[in-house]
């Protein structure tokens, strides 16, 4: 049997590992893990932009009545949609002609590719994890539309999802912010968290995930030293350091490689958050074989396209800890 072309091995190896790459990204990120568990990873088949439908008002026709009272039946515009741009991420896996002949034999080539694909996987994981906290303007506006846009430091300004938060009519689209007068300490942080928690809660609709930078996470832990710490076994099994607050997982996301602002906490209600990848561009090889015109090398690219979307900004919150 003829030894297959190196680029064919690269493409098929990436193809075979695409599900593993997706799974590794999920396990490497508490947000993606929670969205996956709740069925909030919702692939799309296409479209110029990504729409996220949302309800911004009650039906104005609702009324108490008695007997033959006339009921209002006028048009009530209560549904709109936020708009999110497609964001694309690519990590090339390259191999030179020299490396190809040096790693003769199919097993040797696959070992080499496994190592390089492993590095590509880690790169994707890290870039998406950093992108979670982006405002969508980094890399020339090409990065993920993350929490610095969904839960900004000033929710009364700027446009998010195509909706201008500065407009009085769009107050419903402003996330919650609590900025205490002084830096929270072990004795005051839970009171500050309580204020933001109440602001983000509507009945039994409340944050289920709290992401904390390194500094504020340590302050929160110090506040728990006198009481029992309750952890989530599922989070612990996945390698995340977490404790419970009001039923929500408080997860450290400010360690090595963590992108959360060190002094801030993000109160996230994942019922209103979705990861929207394209169904044909979700950690898979992009396009056909690529060979350099003026180099003895070939390239296969692992690609992802989509965005992080929100349908309820008012249920998300940010606690400023500096």
Q: Residue 228's pLDDT is what?
A: 54
Mean per-residue pLDDT pooled into runs of 10, the chain (322 residues): 47 59 66 91 91 68 76 59 92 81 65 75 84 93 95 95 91 95 95 97 93 94 72 59 87 77 96 93 78 80 91 95 89
- Does residue 115 lie within any of the structural domains? yes
Q: Residue 105's pLDDT is what?
A: 66
- Does residue 64 lie within any of the structural domains? no
- Does residue 219 lie within any of the structural domains? yes
- Does residue 75 lie within any of the structural domains? no
Strand segments (E) across the chain: 50-55, 79-84, 87-96, 159-160, 163-164, 176-178, 209-212, 242-245, 248-252, 265-268, 273-285, 290-291, 297-310, 317-319
- Does residue 74 lie within any of the structural domains? no
Q: Residue 241's pLDDT is what?
A: 62
Pairwise CA distance, residues 35 & 318, whole Å: 19
Tell which phi-psi region holds residue 136, choosing left (phi > 0), alpha (psi between -120 and 50) or beta.
left
Q: Whole domain around residue 134: which residue ranges?
A: 6-55+81-319
Q: Residue 10's pLDDT is what?
A: 55
CA angle 58, 60, 65 (to 5 degrees): 115
Q: Residue 169's pLDDT is what?
A: 85
The CATH number assigned to the domain holding 10 equals 3.90.1690
User: 250-291: per-residue pLDDT in tens?
Assistant: 998 866 667 889 999 999 999 999 999 999 888 888 877 677
Q: Residue 79's pLDDT is what?
A: 45
Strands 297-310 and 87-96: antiparallel
- Does residue 63 lie within any of the structural domains? no
- Does residue 62 lie within any of the structural domains? no
Q: If we measure between CA atoms, which residue out of 22, 26, 40, 65 comes closest to residue 308?
A: 40
Q: Residue 67's pLDDT is what?
A: 80
- Number of domains the chain is built from: 1
Whether pTM exceeds 0.75 = yes
- Does residue 51 lie within any of the structural domains? yes
User: 17-66: per-residue pLDDT in tens?
Assistant: 556 655 666 566 889 889 989 999 999 998 999 998 875 555 666 777 78
């Amino acid at each position: 049997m003829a030894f297959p072309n190196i680029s064919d091995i690269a493409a098929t190896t990436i193809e075979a590992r695409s599900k593993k790459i997706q799974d590794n990204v999920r396990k490497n990120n508490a947000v993606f893990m929670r969205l996956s568990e709740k069925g909030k990873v919702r692939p799309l088949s296409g479209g110029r932009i990504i729409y996220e439908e949302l309800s911004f008002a009650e039906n104005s026709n609702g009324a108490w009545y008695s007997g033959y009272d006339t009921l209002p039946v006028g048009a009530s515009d209560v549904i709109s949609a936020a708009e999110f741009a497609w964001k694309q991420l690519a990590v090339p896996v390259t191999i030179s002609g020299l490396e190809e002949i040096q790693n003769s034999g199919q097993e040797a080539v696959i070992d080499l590719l496994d190592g390089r694909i492993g590095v590509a996987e880690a790169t994707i994981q890290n870039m998406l994890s950093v992108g979670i906290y982006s405002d969508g303007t980094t890399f020339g506006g090409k990065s993920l539309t993350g929490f610095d846009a969904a839960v900004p430091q000033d929710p009364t300004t700027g446009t998010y999802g195509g909706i201008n938060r500065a407009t009085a009519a769009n107050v419903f689209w402003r996330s919650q912010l609590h900025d205490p007068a002084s830096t929270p300490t072990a004795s005051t942080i839970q009171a500050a968290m309580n204020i933001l928690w109440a602001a983000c809660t509507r009945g039994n609709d409340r944050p289920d995930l709290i992401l904390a930078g390194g500094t504020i996470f340590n302050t929160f832990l110090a506040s728990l030293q006198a009481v029992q710490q309750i952890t989530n076994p599922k989070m612990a099994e996945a390698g995340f350091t977490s404790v419970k607050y009001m039923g929500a997982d408080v997860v450290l996301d400010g360690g090595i490689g963590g992108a959360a602002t060190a002094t801030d906490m993000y109160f996230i209600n994942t019922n209103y958050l979705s990861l929207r990848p394209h169904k044909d561009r979700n950690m898979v090889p992009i396009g056909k074989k690529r060979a350099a015109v003026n180099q003895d090398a070939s390239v296969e690219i692992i690609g992802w396209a989509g965005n992080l979307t929100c349908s309820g900004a008012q249920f998300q919150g940010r606690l400023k800890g500096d």
